Chains A and B, each alone.
Chain A
Amino acid sequence: MSSAMIELILEATLDTLYMVAVSGLIAALLGIPLGVMLYVTRPRQILAQPALNGALGVITNIGRSVPFIILMVAIIPFTRALVGSSIGTNAAVVPLTIAAIPFIARLVEGALNEVPPGLVEAAQSMGATPWQIIAKVLLPEARGGIFTALTVTIVTLVSYSAMAGAVGGGGLGDLGIRYGYNRFNPTIMLITVVILVVLVQGFQSLGDYLVRKSDHK
């Protein structure tokens, strides 16, 4: 294999990692709070706001029901307004992030739902405010579940990022399609798939490790 080819693969790998890392990070920063809000505004919860909860739920569901490939092209004007271009790696990060936010939020909401209500009740009996309950009870107790949620999201982002080629985002998926499929180069196809598998395995193992470490149950 030519050194140019190796360089292409390396570049594509870095592009993928870049897209996954940036969109994953931003999505976590926005999705975790959204997940917390989805949970604590439920009826009979510590900050019950049924109307707000309903609205957030609908928005979250819309975000999750639009197929990623459609989302990516549908928000091109928004992407252009945000990053100044609708093609390239940075342009791909925008739809990836937007797809990942509701994904993380629902998973985080589920993780919080696993915290026994008795723990919240105990904190309330100690005079904890809703924010203290979130910071000192819900999030720490759901830490394992939140790490699981983030791991699932990262792995999903790796596979979504393979579609980023549609907006010229580069990355391994794009390389696989352009060189492996369109130019009939099975070696490239195989290599990109193997690297993707290794990446997913790596992220999953790291996630599992963090879950184990945070679990004192």
Chain B
Amino acid sequence: MATRQGGLFFARSLLARAGPGATSVAQMIRLQNVSKTYFSKGKGAGPGGVEALKAVDLHVPKGQIHGVIGLSGAGKSTLIRCVNLLERPTTGSVTVDGQELTGLSGDALNQARHRIGMIFQHFNLLTSRSVFANVALPLELMGMKKAEIAERVTPLLELVGLADKARQYPAQLSGGQKQRVAIARALASRPRVLLCDEATSALDPHTTGSILELLRDINQQLGLTILLITHEMEVVKSICHRVSLISGGELVEEAEVGDFFTAPRTRLGRDFLNDFLELEPPRALIERLEADPGPHSHPVVRLAFSGDAVSTPLISRLARECGVDVSILQAKVESIQDRTLGLMIAELMGDAADTRRALSYLETHDLQVEVLGHVQRDD
């Protein structure tokens, strides 16, 4: 741990703070009205092409970890590749660290890319190069001298905890170690921004945790702005400050991570959250759920509570003040960053007037209430 801290300190001193547009609360990444349409002559492409991104606006302030979550094919990959122009947007502008990249090409674009690091799902290390030479690659590309390169690579390998593997080849490393090498490589050119393209999706849960921890350390200690795309809520929960939800090439929701996990505003957001929390009503109950209340039915509700509501004995008050019995079908408490999130699926048992009163009581107490349906009373 001591070496790692030392490495971080050293690496921080390496990350020189200079460059265009370096104001204190600057937007580090700014995507404005970015669209990407693939005009393919290939099969299945319509006359208008395939719209992978539709008028995306995204702003990431300096020092923030911003996550973009979405299902496969939602446009995540295209989005992150538009930031360093691996994909050139069809319309719109991309600005990184105060420099508009969409106007650049050739050498100017390559220079700008030196300030944007990127890591990938499959690591993309060169098999023909040792660990050391992989980390040295971006510096060679910049035309740096051998001695200088060695001075920079060694502390980076210490930073990611792989100083002893410098002479090995990627094939000899585990997945987590490969991604650490990739991170060191991405940091070598002292970027202002790190792009993470599904960086933990090929790793097991334990290794994912350690890579996320490393990314968080780098963010905190080097002040590096990170944009990541993922399909895993765990990643968002662990390290992101803000999150955007992407679907069909559009950003449909953006929120602070704490808010997103307590109160997603879109159907897709709720689906992601439910999948993550594995909080679904029991199958037998789902089959009995009806959309409209019957003469003798009980509402089944999903309750999400955060902040003060977590510590308030709401359920017993509900019983006392509204005369409604609460049958808890499922419940879960999660810690998301500094927030606590409680989730519950419950059946409110009482007559129609009482349960209506109970629902409005819950809504006035900072709870997210969603009526999933109604079940006929058994008795």
Contact = CB atoms under 8 A, between A and B. Distances in A.
Interface centre among B114, B122, B126 (most CB of A within 10 A): B126
Interface in B129-152: 129, 137-138, 140-142
Interface string B284-301: 000000000000000000
B72 interface: no
A126 B141 contact: yes
B169 interface: yes
B111 interface: yes
A188 to B, nearest CB: 46
B292 to A, nearest CB: 52
Contacts of B107: 129
Contacts of B122: 116, 118
A122 B120 contact: yes
B110 interface: yes
A118 B122 CA distance: 8
Interface in A155-189: none
A118 to B, nearest CB: 4
Nearest to A214: B128
B112 A216 contact: no
A194 B82 CA distance: 61
A127 B170 contact: no
A208 to B, nearest CB: 18
B177 to A, nearest CB: 15
A88 interface: no
A125 B118 contact: yes
A93 to B, nearest CB: 33
Contact of B114 (A119, A126, A137): A126
Give the dominant DSSP class at A's interface. Answer: helix
B86 interface: yes
Given A125-B84, A125-B116, A119 B141 contact: no
Interface in A115-144: 116, 118-119, 121-129, 132, 136-137, 140-141, 143
Given A132-B141, A216-B170, A216-B171, A121 B86 contact: yes
Given A126-B137, A128-B110, A217-B171, A143 B84 contact: no
Contact of B124 (A119, A129, A140, A217): A119
Give the dominant DSSP class at B's interface. Answer: mixed
A143 B138 CA distance: 21
B189 interface: yes
Interface in A77-117: 116
B198 to A, nearest CB: 12
B86 A127 contact: no
A140 B138 contact: no
B111 A127 contact: yes
Interface in B93-130: 107, 109-114, 116-118, 120, 122, 124, 126-129
Contact of B141 (A118, A123, A141, A216): A123
A116 B124 CA distance: 8
Given A122-B120, A126-B141, A216 B113 contact: no
A140 B127 CA distance: 9
A125 B112 CA distance: 10
Contact of B113 (A119, A127, A140, A141): A127
A143 B122 CA distance: 21
A53 to B, nearest CB: 16
A121 B120 CA distance: 10
A148 to B, nearest CB: 15
Contacts of A122: 118, 120, 124
A124 B117 CA distance: 11
Nearest to A143: B128
A217 B127 contact: yes
Interface centre among B111, B116, B127 (most CB of A within 10 A): B127
A124 B86 contact: yes
Contacts of B116: 125
Contact of A127 (B138, B171, B185, B195): B138
A127 B142 CA distance: 8
Given A137-B126, A141-B126, A217-B127, A126 B171 contact: no
B86 A123 contact: no
**When A and B form their complex, which 10 residue pairs have the shortest distance between CB atoms, in order from nearest?**
A127-B113, A127-B110, A122-B124, A216-B169, A125-B118, A140-B128, A126-B138, A118-B124, A127-B114, A217-B127
20 contacts: A119-B124, A121-B120, A121-B124, A122-B118, A122-B124, A123-B141, A124-B113, A125-B86, A125-B113, A125-B116, A126-B113, A127-B109, A127-B112, A127-B142, A127-B189, A128-B141, A137-B126, A140-B128, A141-B128, A216-B171
Given A125-B113, A126-B141, A127-B112, 5 more contacts: A122-B118, A127-B110, A127-B138, A132-B141, A216-B171
Interface of B: 84, 86, 107, 109-114, 116-118, 120, 122, 124, 126-129, 137-138, 140-142, 169-171, 185, 189, 195
